[in-house]
């Protein structure tokens, strides 16, 4: 009680009243840098939520543990729901800034560093986020025996693991993963996912039951099935546990908030996405570095996307950032489809949230404009306005509209919230060495992608909408892709183009495209694989004034046409400069 009273007097007294700045240095001797969590929790509890305030840390290293952190059952879109702990619970705040002063914030166990919830005007700047022990397992391949389908790996001490009952398990600081699960191979020579890494994947159900024999401390023999070949000696085999269980600790979660700025922040690791924002207005991400720590044996940063924006609005601005070595995309901006499962009144329906990692998210609120989407074509056919939205449980919602639904929708149709989409500006960023794509874009608002450098194992830019897996919505209407460098991407082994426009329509309607108005101009494509652009169901596609060069970094493994356009209209391909031998192949159907 004495500590609480002391903190209250300092927050409400001189330090806060005169300058609205709280200097953590003023509390020296009253906190433990080996676990700052209880101090920060008490400090925030005693700052009036509506008062503008800036917390400034003296440069140093601060540790955070979950044991005395604020906690609750928490839903995070595109993550795994559950009881979660928070180091900085910024809930109901107005105009608060956390300035780390160049400090390192080191986290332990399953904890979410920053929760921004129901808040406005939140700034995070000048600090580094990392975990003492990562949520991944990484082992260098030291031997490979194709005949016996066995490899040997050597795991550095930094990765928490144990051998029990014939199993290699991940375990550290209060958590464990007993199934190695999702996996991918990296090449330490390039620091990227390995060339044709898809060949070395351990598929389900084999990655649930890998036979392990210990050989020496930190050295193990693994016997299992790989898709096509054993990973080469010298590469690094990585694991992150089971899908639907391994996204639990994103670095920053923003929800139901507005005016969020993340600036001059470095994220070396987290157990999920670096920044996940949902139902949030106006997010700026400037000079965010999701990068490996220098001198570290790790080859993975975030275990999912670097950034991700679901059902946001206003403007999402991402600029001057570096995103590397994630196990998913640099960013994904999209809405979400829900599927109509029942009509319960003349103006009321029941709809289902389908993907397990979207369970519990808020699809709509009063006054939102909802498009009714044909479940087969993904094309909008009517517009409704929400009168009332009620959550039945994590997967089902009841929506009441201001007008009747008869004749406007049927069971099986999709619903899309048109009130919650942002404009996107993605400029002057670097994306490299990660699994999956560089960026995914699904928003009907204006999109500008310029001045970036992309090099990912799959497509650099993906436009996609679907009602069969992730249920991500947002057919584009105004996209400009200009002055970017696309360097040696699509090296993972699958036949992906550099730019992929690929809506998942079960039925396409001639003359009624899903995507519209995409301009690709003034870019440099330096590539070893042939295909630069594959597109379908686009109205208004321009590919002009681009430079295409041959790279010899990797050996080509497909002979696809350079440009492949299907079921599209108003297509313009002109004034492109081809600095590579052979005939440029263009297919239009």
Ordered DSSP codes for 344-375: EETTEEEEE--SGGGTT-----TT-EEEEE-T
Q: What is the average pLDDT score of the chain?
A: 95
* pLDDT tens column, 387-420: 999 999 999 999 999 999 999 999 999 999 999 9
The C-alpha atoms of residue 122 and residue 115 are separated, in whole angstroms, by 11
Which residue in 121, 110, 355, 132 sits closest to 251, CA to CA?
110
- Answer left, alpha or beta for residue 278, where phi above 0 means left and psi between -120 and 50 means alpha: beta
The domain 335-417 having CATH identifier 2.40.10.170: the answer here is yes
Give me the pLDDT at residue 4, please. 40
CB 458 within 8 A of CB 328: no
Are 159 and 140 in contact, with CB atoms under 8 Å apart?
Answer: no
Q: Retrieve residue 438's tokens.
A: 């560089």
Q: Comparing 278 with 558, which gets the higher pLDDT? A: 278
- Please confirm whether the linkage preceding 205 is cis (ω < 30° from 0): yes
CA distance 407 to 411: 11
pLDDT at 580 over 80: no
What pLDDT is recorded for position 7?
Answer: 46
- Chain length of the chain: 589
How sure is the predictor about 583, in pLDDT bands with cuts at 50, 70 and 90?
Answer: low
Answer yes or no: are the C-beta atoms of 418 and 370 closer than 8 Å: yes
Is residue 73 predicted with pLDDT exceeding 70?
Answer: yes
Bridge partners (DSSP) of residue 564 are 534, 587
- Select from 69, 63, 65 the least CA-distant residue to 106: 63
Q: Which fold has domain 20-133+246-324?
A: Pectate Lyase C-like (2.160.20)
Q: What would the 3-class secondary structure string for 517-544 be?
A: EEEEECCEEEECCCCCEEEECEEEEEEE
Token pair recorded at residue 261: 């700025």
List, for residues 512-530, the tens digit of each pLDDT value: 999 999 999 999 999 999 8
Give SS3 for 125: strand
Confidence band (pLDDT; 50, 70, 90) for 1? very low
Domains in the chain: boundaries: 20-133+246-324, 137-240, 335-417, 444-587
pLDDT of residue 443: 99
| pTM of structure | 0.96
CA pair distance 358, 397, nearest whole angstrom: 13
Please give the helix or strand (H or E) that residue 390 lies within, else none.
strand 380-391
Inter-residue contact 91 to 229 (CB < 8 Å): no
pLDDT at 581 over 90: no
For the record, the structure tokens of 37 come out as: 């969590």
270: Cβ–Cβ under 8 A, 6 or more apart, which residues?
Answer: 107, 113, 129, 131, 135, 249, 250, 251, 302, 303
Q: How confident is the model at residue 582 (pLDDT cuts 50, 70, 90)?
A: low
455-493 pLDDT tens trace: 999 999 999 999 999 999 999 999 999 999 999 999 999
Residue 527 phi/psi, 5-degree rounding, is -140, 150
Q: How many CB atoms lie within 10 A of CB 150?
A: 16
* pLDDT tens readout for residues 311-331: 999 999 999 999 999 999 999
How many Å apart are CA 262 and CA 321, to the nearest integer? 11
* pLDDT at position 474: 98
The gap between the terminal CA atoms of the chain, to the nearest Å, is 74
Q: What is the per-residue pLDDT for 390?
A: 98
Pairing of strands 70-74, 82-91: antiparallel
**How many CA atoms lie within 13 Å of 259's alpha carbon, on the beta-carbon side?**
10
Which helix H or strand E contains 9, and what residues bound it?
A: helix 2-12
**DSSP string of 288-340?**
-EE-PPTT-S---SBSS-SEEEES-EEEEEEES-EEES-SS-SEEEEEEEEEE
Closest CA to 103 of 137, 138, 56, 68: 56
Q: How many separate helices (H) and strands (E) can be counted in the chain?
A: 3, 51
Annotate 318-339 with b (16+ C-beta within 10 A) or e (fewer): bbbbbbbbbbbbbbbbbbbbbb
Q: Is the pLDDT of residue 106 over 80?
A: yes
Q: Which residues contact 473 (CB under 8 A, 6 or more apart)?
A: 334, 335, 336, 337, 373, 414, 416, 442, 465
CA atoms of 142 and 222, how far apart (whole Å): 11
Is the predicted pLDDT of residue 15 greater than 80, yes or no?
A: no
| Residue 422 DSSP symbol | E
**Contact status, residue 183 vs residue 207, Cβ threshold 8 Å:** yes
Residues whose CB is less than 8 angstroms from the CB of residue 211 and which lie 6 or more positions away in sequence, other chains included? 166, 222, 223, 224
**Residue 15, phi then psi, degrees to nearest 5:** -60, -40
Cα separations in angstroms, 71 against 41, 67, 111, 176, 299 = 11, 9, 9, 19, 31
Residue with tokens 């999402």: 316
Q: Is 35 a residue whose pLDDT tops 70?
A: yes
Residue 11 predicted with pLDDT over 80: no
Q: 589 exposed, middle or buried (CB, 10 Å; 0-12, 13-18, 19+)?
A: exposed
Taking the C-alpha atoms of residue 533 and residue 524, their distance in angstroms, rounded to an integer, is 13
Helix locations, 225-311, DSSP H = none
Q: How far is Cα 163 from Cα 159, in angstroms, rounded to an integer?
A: 13
Mean pLDDT along residues 69-85: 98
Instruction: Report the pLDDT averaged over residues 109-121.
Output: 99
Residue with tokens 């879109």: 77
As given in the structure block, the two tokens for residue 435 are: 């699994």
Per residue in 220-250, pLDDT (tens digit) is 999 999 999 999 999 999 999 999 999 999 9
> How much is the CA Rg of the chain, to the nearest whole Å?
25
Predicted confidence (pLDDT) at residue 17 exceeds the cutoff of 60: no
Q: Take residue 579 and report the two structure tokens written for it.
A: 């600095």
pLDDT at 140 over 50: yes
Residues 332/324, Cβ–Cβ less than 8 Å: no
Say how many CA atoms lie within 13 Å of 513 toward its Cβ. 23
């Amino acid at each position: 009680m004495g500590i609480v009273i002391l903190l209250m007097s300092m927050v409400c007294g001189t330090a806060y009243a005169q300058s609205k700045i709280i200097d953590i240095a003023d509390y020296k001797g009253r906190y433990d840098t080996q676990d700052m969590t209880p101090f920060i929790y008490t400090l925030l509890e005693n700052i009036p939520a509506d008062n503008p305030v800036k917390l400034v840390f003296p440069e140093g290293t601060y540790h955070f543990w979950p044991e005395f952190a604020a906690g609750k059952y928490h839903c995070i879109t595109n993550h795994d729901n559950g009881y979660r702990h928070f180091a900085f619970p910024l809930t109901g705040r107005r105009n608060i800034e956390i300035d780390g002063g160049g400090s390192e914030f080191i986290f332990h166990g399953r904890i979410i560093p920053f929760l921004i919830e129901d808040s406005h005007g939140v700034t995070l700047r000048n600090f580094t986020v990392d975990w003492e022990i990562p949520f991944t397992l990484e082992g260098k391949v030291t031997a490979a025996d194709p005949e016996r389908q066995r490899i040997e790996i050597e795991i550095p001490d930094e990765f928490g693991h144990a051998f029990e009952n014939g199993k290699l398990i991940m375990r550290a600081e209060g958590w464990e993963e007993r199934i190695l699960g999702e996996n991918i191979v990296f090449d330490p020579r390039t620091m990227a996912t390995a060339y044709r890494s898809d060949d070395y994947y351990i598929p389900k159900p084999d990655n649930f039951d890998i036979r392990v024999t210990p050989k020496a401390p930190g050295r193990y023999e693994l016997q299992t099935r790989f898709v096509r070949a054993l990973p080469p000696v010298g590469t690094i085999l990585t694991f992150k546990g089971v899908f639907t269980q391994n996204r639990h600790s994103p670095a920053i979660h923003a929800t139901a908030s507005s005016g969020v700025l993340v600036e001059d922040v470095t994220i070396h690791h987290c157990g999920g996405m670096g920044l996940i924002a949902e139902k949030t207005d106006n997010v700026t991400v400037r000079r965010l570095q999701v990068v490996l720590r220098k001198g570290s044996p790790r080859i993975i940063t975030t275990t999912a996307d670097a950034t991700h924006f679901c059902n946001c609005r206003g403007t999402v601005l991402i600029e001057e950032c570096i995103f590397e070595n994630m196990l998913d995309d640099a960013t994904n901006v999209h809405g979400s489809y829900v599927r109509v499962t029942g009509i319960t009144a003349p103006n009321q329906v029941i709809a289902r949230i389908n993907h397990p990692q979207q369970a519990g998210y808020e699809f709509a609120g009063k006054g939102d404009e909802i498009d009714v989407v044909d479940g087969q074509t993904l094309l909008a056919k009517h517009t409704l306005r929400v009168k009332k939205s009620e959550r039945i449980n994590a997967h089902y919602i009841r929506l009441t509209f201001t007008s009747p639904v008869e004749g406007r929708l049927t069971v099986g149709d999709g619903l899309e919230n048109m009130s919650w989409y942002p404009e996107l500006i993605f400029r002057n960023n670097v994306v490299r060495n990660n699994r999956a794509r560089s960026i995914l874009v699904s928003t009907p608002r204006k999109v500008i992608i310029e001045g970036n450098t992309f090099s990912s194992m799959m497509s650099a830019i993906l436009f996609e909408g679907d009602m069969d897996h992730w249920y991500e919505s947002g057919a584009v209407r105004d996209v400009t892709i200009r002055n970017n460098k696309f360097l040696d991407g699509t090296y993972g082994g699958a036949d992906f183009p550099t730019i992929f426009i690929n809506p998942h329509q079960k039925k396409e309607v001639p003359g009624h495209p899903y995507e519209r108005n995409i301009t690709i101009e003034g870019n440099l494509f330096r590539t070893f694989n042939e295909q630069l652009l594959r597109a379908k169901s686009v109205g208004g596609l321009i590919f002009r004034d681009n430079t295409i060069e041959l790279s010899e970094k990797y050996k080509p493994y497909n002979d696809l046409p350079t440009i492949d356009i299907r079921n599209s209209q108003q297509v313009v391909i002109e004034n492109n400069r081809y600095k590579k031998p052979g005939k440029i192949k263009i297919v239009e159907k």
